[in-house]
Structure 1
Amino acid sequence: MHLSLIEAFLGVAAKHPERTAVIHNGRAIRYAEMAQAVWAVADLVGPSPGTVGVPATHSPGTVATMLGIWVAGGTYCPVDPGFPAQRQQAMLTTAGCRTVFDPADVPWHTADTRIARRPLAAIDAERPAYILFTSGSTGQPKPVVTPRRAIDTTVASLGDLFDLSVNDRVLQFASLNWDTSFEEILPTLTVGACLVMNDEAHTGSFPRFLRLVERQRITTLDLPTAFWHELVHYLVEDRFALPPDLRLVIIGGEAASPARLADWAALDTAHIRLLNTYGCTETTLITHAGDLWGPQAKDLPDSHSQVPIGWPLPHVLQYISEEGELTVGGPCLALGYRGLPEATEQRFTTVDGIRFFRTGDRVEAEPDGMLIHHGRLDSEIKIRGIRVNPAEVEVHLAAHPSVAAVAVAGVTVADHVSLAAFVVPRPHANPAALDAELHAFLRNRVPRHLIPSQISIVDELPHTATGKIDREFMRRQLP
């Protein structure tokens, strides 16, 4: 049986206290120092602190805070400090946070290696480990409650999937407020590898990004598929070589482009594993994966075919309904949505006595078991790997006094998906100024990924013959 991730991390810290755990903007933090900081956070929040809100930023303090809350028996709830204040407060309230702990308050001291050997209190595996939010149709984000057994099981599985070793150096790229960051942080620190955190990874400059990867001798990257699409385009156009130490590139969050995959294969990449992944917040990080290119890949998919999402990982149960919906079960399942019993009952179901999550994704299984994704059964979309329900944006736009009716749809521009809104103004509104008014209105209410890239002012919304809003027609009207 696998150790819990906390036991695994503390075991590494006790066995190899001098090994580098994190490099943050050039500063090296040893495992002993990280373990000491983790215990310090646990002492500061106190035993069984309940749900602790954390303004999560790209810093070792956030990592130590997360682990420290878990050591104390609490529930970690990251909240992006860049979100509008109203949104942050709503998330803290909805999650039931008793307190907020700022990672800037983590005490860092010269490590006493004996600290890492303190006894760890036994904690029920069904106790919530963290609460993350997904987009909801009511205008409010839905709090997903994930138990310890789910994250423990998944992290152990991902260590095997990524074939991580003590020699790996993993770049921490994802926002600390999304679960992809757990894929980077937790498998790394539970095997004794090195996590690299650096502000240059987030400048938006591909040359600086690649120079950082080379300078820090990064071996593993975990990237949103949309970012990888843009990176491949840059590599092809500027004939920039990939850094020599890179051995594994993980992508996920939305469908991979067959054309970009062909471009990647045409580069000097045969030695690099390109791993496509799939998962939902409610099923804990990654549930399906498959090598698209590199040492462990099979044949490259046809350039005009859909890129597969892979096979279920060993800890995952799957069931495909008659409608083709992928449902996922096993120890990776979340407990449900906090305070939303009806939403929980709607998305979590039982089949032959086994609990499953309805992903809303339509899939088809190939003869070898590999899954091909065929779109959504509902209106949810992915914006740079973040699940978004357009109805949430519609609720916020409809609250503006100059809006009579609104519809929001996902549109594909180049290799990424963005939101487009279609707004019918009220008679008193100034259509020429409404676009700017609505953008300013949303900036004070929702995070950036929920702000449409295009807002079109129209006389009326198109409808299908059955009376539903014709979103496909709206997409075709966009330039």
Structure 2
Amino acid sequence: MKSIESIPPFIDLFWKQCESTPDRVAVVQDDCSWTYRELRLQSCHIAESLRTAGVLPGDRVGMCVDRSPIAIAAMLGIHLAGAAFVPLDPEYPAERLRFMLEDAEITTLIGHAKYRSLFDADESSTSSEKSIATLNWLEASDLIRAENSSTSPIREDYFKLTGKQLAYVMYTSGSTGNPKGVLINHAALTTYCEADMEVYRLHASDRTLQFSTLTFDIAIEEVFPPLLCGSCVVVRPLERADSANELSHIIDSLRITAVHLATAYWHQWVDLMVATGSRVPKSLRLMVVTGEKVSVDHYRRWQTICDHDVLWCNAYGPTEATVTATVFVPEADFAGANMPIGKPLPGYSAAIFDKDLAEVSVGETGQLFIGGPALADGYLNRPELTHAAFIERPSSHGEIQRWYRSGDIARWMDDGNIDFGGRVDHQIKLGSYRIEPGEIEAALTSISEVKEALVTAESMDGQTTLLAHIGLGADRLPTNSLNKEASSELPATAARIAKHLREKLPPYMVPTRFVFVESFPKTINGKIDRESLPDSSHAVVAREESLVEPQSDLQRQLCEIWSSVLQVPQIGIDDDFFLLGGSSLLVTQVVARVKNQLGLELPVRDFFANPTIELAARHIQAMLGDESKTADEATAAIQSQRDRLPVMEAFFLPSGAHDLFAVHYSPPSRQTRRNRAVVLCHAYGHEYARSYRNLQQLAVHLAQQGFDVLRFDYAGTGNSHGNALEASPHVMMKNIRDVSNWMRQRHELDSVSLIGIRLGATLAACSAATGINQRLLWDPVFCGETFLQNLDQLHAKTLTNEVRFARPRESSSIDQAYGTRLNHVVRRQLSQLKLDLNESQDAPATTLLLSQDYEVPGIDDSPSSITGSVIQMDDEIGWDRPELNESAFSSPGAIRHITQLLVDKLDGGSAIEVQS
């Protein structure tokens, strides 16, 4: 193995290449094309500009530039000046960029003018931020040399580097709350480039696509090795292509031979080619896939659409090992269930150790370690992290070897390849990026309203997204807040949190969905009990405005596609694809599904320009020649729909010692307000989750008919204050009385109508609330004891259901019925509940609404024995059917009957009697 001292720096090898092939094209983008002679001249001019600006050998120079030839020349020029480059992504929040500037002690920065404002400091800035004002800004466009020199530069006129000196700093996510800078020296860069050229069989006729952002080390792979073999680097065009399959178009039109893609992007590209019926571009000879585990299914699809020989490689490597450490090239007859990550590159070494750092046998799993001269020097200003990640261990020959602890589980296969087994820790692989959840969690807990935070990855349908669990504390969220109340409160809270995170973190690190709890469950050792946290079914999306439902078939189809791709249950036509967690990778998936389901090839470029359902649908209609609605008409149509929505206000109402979360639906401004208020009484336990959306839709509908409507959560449930064990029937009946009185007094009314569903109907009938002139009871619970028995049976069946759980679960010592927590007081009061509809003469008018399969003792035999009217509906709900116990349902019949009953009562019409 070579010593670091004996390995020449990359820039010296590049200089020799320029002398060998001065007239070959080195880099091209659109109309800009530089030969190796011209690229070297530009690099030397930048090095001279840096020296004039005061840059000294060993300094670190920032780069905030787009993919471009000048970016490549800048990296080389920085090396010629004896400095190291630090890529800075303009998509990063200003706060993150400031941290990187200070952490890397950057005093000189090369950037495009359009990014200058990211580094401006205002008068209110802290002293550390004001240091940015002294930043020496070099405008990238001013560094381009307009004329070619007739004399060739001399290498000795520029700083002489050694392999030990720093080449670049690449920042990755850090577990401590801030990104960490990985230090790569010149020997490591050269070791990697030479291994890359050998394994991928690079030659002078290659045209390698520079596709990745410069802050991800795939960019190193795309630029540096090709420049050592005299080939051409083709930088991604500035303008997006007018093609549904943009990548294939770029490869075809620019005659690209070599492409390096993050795994997730490659998966999407394969799917897009399959969806559009296209083949792998014929110019392509090298396909390198890297970043995360490759789907064998996608590799099979690749084989079906590739008609010529392509060197396909699965590459693995952390930034700390300089881009790539191992590569697997499958044989033509590859038939494995998993895609191995291969063998170490030339100059690299790999080992799999157990927890005691002893090598494991073939077939046994352990942690993968990488060795060799391509290892990073460590982490900038993080000696404790460097010490933990980079170890020294004596070899069998007694030599001390340095190893990088990858944190990945692996095993040696019989053929000498390495099989990847996942992560040892909680680090997340998301697309091209390694993410330390701790950095996101630190950003979350810096928000005043967030008490605890935990970020995890969730994979659904092959797509990985970030899920954040948020503990808000007892003063902001009750213990039993997991009933998925789709109020405006939680999405609004999520929106505030997401907005704060976007000011601190890159877009790819902002969670897509949020689960809110009062506090995190803990193990006996005080650690977070991850298995006891609520799952993503309780999550909400960060949404700043009320959801606007689709208005046309095309909008509904697009909403379904977005919902599937983003794994977001409800999509509104005003939702922004990218604020919901969308990315350029997912855009290709949407485009593919639009092609499959709608038969339309939507250019990726057009999608970026139309990131909402409403805009996308309007654009597609124009593509199809349907321009029946002008832009003004379309806007007017959307505004008209919004005008029909009620005005919603979320707040807390006092009820004894509790504050009840409530949502008031006022009639739309153009709707005549009726002199009548309606209070909706929710169900209880898991039936709350089943029915809450129906009551929400009912509230909207009734408000549109002119009624003031109030929905609320009982004390200790939903979003109301209190403990679940305080939610006894007596407390809930008091809540109904207090809420009804509040509505009467608020609107100066003589009476209020109560509408209850299931246990809410029973409580409404038994509450003895005053000023109630009408009660509509939807599938009420007639016997509390029977209701409890059903809940207990469902609970026991669910715990032992092997379809839902990998293994049967045992009941805990906590008294639980299905969907709720009980104690002896609540259980006793529930069991004693009886619904008797044989009321006195002065009781409010009562109507029973019964779903199709709902049976009540006495109804079938003698309906006349029950005071009030009975409506038998066509809606089928199945409260007691186990296969439906978690299913939401639609009940348009109930909404229709309830509306008619309320309107008839108010307008003096006759109430509906028994219907069948």
Please give the TM-score of this superposition, normalised by the length of structure 2.
0.50
Shift of 1:298: 5.1
Moved more, 108-117 or 309-318: 108-117
Shift of 1:410: 1.1
Shift of 1:376: 0.7
Moved more, 12-21 or 146-155: 12-21
- Residues 466 and 49 of structure 1, relative CA distance in 2, 3 Å threshold: closer
1:169 equivalent in alignment to 2:210: no
**Equivalent pair of 1:405/1:425 in contact (CA under 8 Å):** yes
2:454 aligned to which of 407, 413, 426: 407
CA distance in 2, matches of 1:415, 1:52: 39
Does the residue aligned with 1:403 lie in a helix, a strand or coil?
coil
Moved more, 272-281 or 103-112: 103-112
Shift of 1:379: 0.8
1:337 aligned to which of 379, 393, 396: 379
Which residue of structure 2 aligns with residue 70 of structure 1? 79
CA distance in 1, matches of 2:44, 2:240: 30
Shift of 1:67: 0.6
Which residue of structure 2 aligns with residue 38 of structure 1? 43
CA distance in 1, matches of 2:246, 2:294: 24
Which residue of structure 2 aligns with residue 318 of structure 1? 350
Post-superposition CA distance 1:167-189 (Å, at most 9, x none): 10011011111111000000111
CA distance in 1, matches of 2:109, 2:217: 19
Which residue of structure 1 aligns with residue 643 of structure 2? none
Shift of 1:472: 5.7
Post-superposition CA distance 1:103-139 (Å, at most 9, x none): 3332233333643544354222111111111211111
CA distance in 1, matches of 2:148, 2:22: 9
1:234 equivalent in alignment to 2:272: yes
Shift of 1:338: 1.4
2:515 aligned to which of 453, 456, 479: 456
**Higher fraction of strand:** 1
The one-letter amino acid paired with 2:26 is A
Moved more, 427-436 or 31-40: 427-436
Which residue of structure 2 aligns with residue 434 of structure 1? 493
Shift of 1:416: 3.5
Which residue of structure 2 aligns with residue 92 of structure 1? 101
CA distance in 2, matches of 1:205, 1:394: 39
Does the residue aligned with 1:244 lie in a helix, a strand or coil?
coil
CA distance in 2, matches of 1:204, 1:399: 43
- Residues 230 and 462 of structure 1, relative CA distance in 2, 3 Å threshold: farther
1:107 equivalent in alignment to 2:149: no
Does the residue aligned with 1:101 lie in a helix, a strand or coil?
strand
CA distance in 2, matches of 1:220, 1:472: 44
Shift of 1:471: 4.1
Which residue of structure 1 aligns with residue 463 of structure 2? 416
The one-letter amino acid paired with 2:433 is I
Shift of 1:333: 0.9
CA distance in 2, matches of 1:264, 1:113: 49
Shift of 1:307: 1.2
The one-letter amino acid paired with 1:146 is I
**Equivalent pair of 1:24/1:60 in contact (CA under 8 Å):** yes
Does the residue aligned with 1:115 lie in a helix, a strand or coil?
coil
**Equivalent pair of 2:245/2:272 in contact (CA under 8 Å):** no
**Equivalent pair of 2:267/2:298 in contact (CA under 8 Å):** yes
Post-superposition CA distance 1:246-284 (Å, at most 9, x none): 011101100011211121122225511211001111111
Shift of 1:234: 1.1
Does the residue aligned with 1:423 lie in a helix, a strand or coil?
strand
Aligned length: 473
**Equivalent pair of 2:8/2:162 in contact (CA under 8 Å):** no
Which residue of structure 1 aligns with residue 252 of structure 2? 214
- Summarize the alignment of residues 185-224 of structure 1 with structure 2, pairs less than 5 Å apart: 185-199=223-237, 207-224=245-262
**Equivalent pair of 2:7/2:163 in contact (CA under 8 Å):** no
Please give the TM-score of this superposition, normalised by the length of structure 1.
0.93
Which residue of structure 2 aligns with residue 395 of structure 1? 442
- Residues 68 and 381 of structure 1, relative CA distance in 2, 3 Å threshold: same
The one-letter amino acid paired with 2:373 is P
- Residues 259 and 475 of structure 1, relative CA distance in 2, 3 Å threshold: farther
Which residue of structure 2 aligns with residue 376 of structure 1? 423
CA distance in 2, matches of 1:344, 1:55: 27
Which residue of structure 2 aligns with residue 300 of structure 1? 334
The one-letter amino acid paired with 2:393 is V
1:122 equivalent in alignment to 2:153: no
Shift of 1:14: 2.1
CA distance in 1, matches of 2:58, 2:7: 26
1:29 equivalent in alignment to 2:3: no
Moved more, 103-112 or 270-279: 103-112
Identity of aligned residues (%): 30
Post-superposition CA distance 1:310-348 (Å, at most 9, x none): 111121122211140111111011111111111111111
Which residue of structure 2 aligns with residue 8 of structure 1? 13
The one-letter amino acid paired with 1:151 is L
**Equivalent pair of 2:476/2:518 in contact (CA under 8 Å):** no
Which structure 2 residue ranges, 5 or more long, are not aligned? 1-5, 112-139, 356-365, 395-399, 478-488, 538-566, 568-916
Post-superposition CA distance 1:73-116 (Å, at most 9, x none): 11111111221111101001111223212333322333336435
CA distance in 1, matches of 2:183, 2:289: 25
Which residue of structure 1 aligns with residue 813 of structure 2? none
Which structure 1 residue ranges, 5 or more long, are not aligned? none
The one-letter amino acid paired with 1:344 is T
